[in-house]
A and B are shown apart, each in its own frame.
Chain A
Amino acid sequence: MQVTVKIQRFNPEVDTKPHYETYTIEQQPTDRVLDALNTIKWYTDATLTYRRSCAHGVCGSDAMRINGRNRLACKLLIQDVGANITVEPIMGFRVIKDLVVDMEPFFAGYRAVKPFLINNEQAPAGRERYQSAEDRERIDDTSKCIMCACCTTACPITWTNQDFIGPAAIVQAHRFIYDSRDQGAEQRLQIMNDKSGVWRCRTIFNCTDACPRDIKITRAIEQVKRTLLYERV
């Protein structure tokens, strides 16, 4: 089928501000939007620039705005989006070139929540730390996160408040706060309780809608808020 792809372009070595370019190409309806970008890059305009790697929705490289919604280009089929596709970079971070944005503030938010198991006791020798299946289930959903930034850059609070830690960082904090093996909940909850933490969230649900991993992000954020209110992990 014939597909028209309108892409926001910006080359800092040439342009002073972003502009749009439109390409008309042939793709199969079952191709991914990423395939369309590849076709354009490989056979029409080699300067088109984006990040991509796994091409099946697990590495988190190719988050972009497709027809106004944050999606992974490799996890959206052309037949599901139609013959007219508009592609823009995710919002809220500095555009480096075309669809590539500066991810450093995003990863800084991740690092800020101490995203590693904190347990000061000696691990048992020769065996695992036991954890019940039910306790493990509490962190199942948030441990699926691939840090693609679809959620954080879909959040209107993030667009206007650079200090807000953002949904993805809260998801990562959640994954440890509710891990029965972890002893760092208090430190992380303090970070969550900070002025840049969970209280900035206005339960708009954009994050949940945007997540390509179907993580119930708003619910996770609400759980952290309730824990802060009732001081119960």
Chain B
Amino acid sequence: MYHRYDALVIGAGGAGLMAAAQLSNVCSTAVISKLYPPRSHTGAAQGGIGAALGNVEEDHWIWHMFDTVKGGDYLTDQDAAEVLAREAIDAVLELEHMGLPFNRTPDGKIDQRRFGGHSRNFGEAPVRRACYSADRTGHMILYTLYQQGIKNDVEFYDEFMMLDLLITDDGICNGIVALNVADGEIHVFHAKAVILATGGFGRVFKITSNAMAATGDGVAVAFRRGIPLEDMEFYQFHPTGINKLGILLTEGARGEGGILRNVNGERFMERYTPTMKDLAPRDIVSRYIWQEIREGRGIGPDKDYIHLDLTHLPPGALEEKLPDITDFVRTYLGIDPVTQPIPIQPTAHYAMGGVPTDIDGRVTLDESNTVLPGLYAAGEVACVSVHGANRLGTNSLVDLVVFGRRAGKHAAEFIKTADLAPLPAEPDFRAKAEISNLLERTKGENAADIRATMQAEMMDKASVFRTGEGLEQVRGTLRELRDAYANVTVGDKGKIHNMALVEALELGYMLDCAEAVVEGAVTRTESRGAHMREDYPDRDDQNWLKHTLAYRTSGGIQMKYKPVVLTRFEPKERKY
């Protein structure tokens, strides 16, 4: 089936819906989403959205910018960080005006709380910057933006999965190909502008906070069409996932006063980061949690977890400010966080890397930021790069609102003057071939086996601690899995809601993402932010103060490099 619109938004999480809000009133817009919009993973974000409102104590956008740059271990593009920190304020107010029910201060303003890496006056002490709605801030953002979509009569194509991105021979993006999961039909969407907002790929790791749908669809499809992926080696592990399950327990828990303790009951973060303590950035806290465990100070029969202690919080704090995580702990661990400490471990959480864009969300192709006309990306699928080597807590929500809005606004202007580039004769031939390949093979490998091996190996060798040797091994494993995937079979041959087919396609996307992560990690022979190479333990600004760009070619992945944009802050040693 053929559809024609001015603009397409792929993905209906926060970034996609924010972009759609800019577009739907000015041009014909379709939002194409693998899930019903309110199922999107933005809804799982808990603790808050950072903005220097200064509602409860003095704060300034430039402090937020500095924290973002330092948090990113100086790989952050500072022009982008400035946009993020400045526009966060307006973005939060816009969300409030749309109806988002933030928690309030006694005088009726948006309440704010502490979060990891957010400080006053360039690192002096933690600052209250995270605007929140209990511990379901992402849920409220997602719903508020979905509500705007309903109000504005946005056209939604729910449960449509992207299969291909259409780019003309002249290098202009003019549409996508998607699978209607409901009936198995292939649809071609022809448009002047496409905004990728498909989210991240946490499911490449065994222990993750990410939804099962977070399989890097947009990242992989772009990669396959020759678009580079930027800084893929930087993958964030959130310090406090529920042990073995990976379910997120917000940093807001530590923002409200929660403490991490080892087997001796010691508040070990004090030893490592005396100023910020438990509220150091996530890369650092995750690393020291593993270090405590490795040095034998873990807890439990296998000494493999750490405690998040909330038992000393004031009465009512958990029920009022952290009700969801209280519920998760009771449901999944059968313990009461009011009286018992919680077993936690770092959990794969967020991709700093992704499809490179400029500060207007336009996808760029190389080290000189050549734009691919008609293609935009925003949110976790994108790399602006505003998070550098490590994202600060709350900044993912800021990112998707600020850059979702910028991408939408820019695209709305772009389509006014752009021509609709004609489609080739058979725009869906690649997608159709891929699907029939998967469905027609009757014997072969089981996708679940390939996926399980990938997830275990990525967790073991490409997570918080990495070595050249381990990465080489996982690179080899991924090559074998790639060969196995070429022979994968789908056990459901039906047309209607073929979930097995969707999962097989997702596995292909995840393998692409995993390969790019590992290739970047092998290449970057230094330690910076979330990328910790034990064989290269120091940050090396001399050689590595630059972004990686990974290109998928017939001869394997090739790397190029792009300079970091430095404006206000010179790289310094990172102390907390």
Contacts and interface: CB of A to CB of B under 8 A. Distances in A.
Interface of A: 11-13, 30, 41-43, 45-47, 49-61, 75, 77, 96-97, 100, 103, 107, 110-111, 115-117, 119, 123, 126-133, 136, 139-140, 143-144, 146-147, 176, 179, 181-182, 214
A99 to B, nearest CB: 10
Interface stretch (B4-12, B107-115, B291-299, B525-533): B107-115
B96 A96 contact: no
B456 to A, nearest CB: 15
Given A129-B96, A130-B107, A132-B104, A56 B247 contact: yes
Contact of B41 (A12, A53, A75, A126): A53
**Closest 8 CB pairs between A and B?**
A46-B491, A117-B99, A130-B108, A42-B448, A116-B147, A123-B97, A116-B151, A128-B96
A54 B139 contact: no
A77 B332 contact: yes
B39 A60 contact: yes
Interface stretch (B425-433, B495-503, B555-563): B495-503
B495 A131 contact: no
Nearest to B156: A107
Contacts of B331: 57, 75, 77
Contacts of B273: none
Nearest to B491: A46
Contacts of A130: 104, 107-109
B500 to A, nearest CB: 4
Interface in B3-44: 35-36, 38-41, 43-44
B107 A179 contact: no
A128 B109 contact: yes
Contact of B211 (A54, A117, A181): A54
A136 B105 CA distance: 11
Given A42-B448, A116-B147, A59 B97 contact: no
Contacts of B97: 123, 128-129
A128 to B, nearest CB: 4
A46 B182 contact: no
Contacts of A59: 35, 38-41, 43-44, 211
Contacts of B148: 116
A126 B93 contact: yes
Contact of A43 (B40, B93, B448): B448
Contacts of B98: 116-117
Interface string B477-506: 000000000000011101111111000000
A133 B500 contact: no
11 contacts: A30-B334, A43-B448, A46-B490, A47-B492, A49-B492, A49-B498, A59-B38, A116-B98, A129-B97, A131-B108, A179-B101
Given A96-B182, A143-B140, A52 B101 contact: no
A116 B150 contact: yes
A98 B178 CA distance: 23
A136 B109 contact: no
B213 interface: yes
B324 interface: yes
A181 B99 contact: yes
Nearest to A100: B497
A206 B182 CA distance: 30
Contact of A116 (B36, B99, B211): B99
Interface string B313-327: 000000000001001
Interface in B98-132: 98-99, 101-110
Nearest to B140: A143
A60 B38 contact: yes
Contacts of A131: 101, 104, 108
A210 to B, nearest CB: 16
Given A57-B328, A146-B43, A179-B99, A97 B497 contact: yes
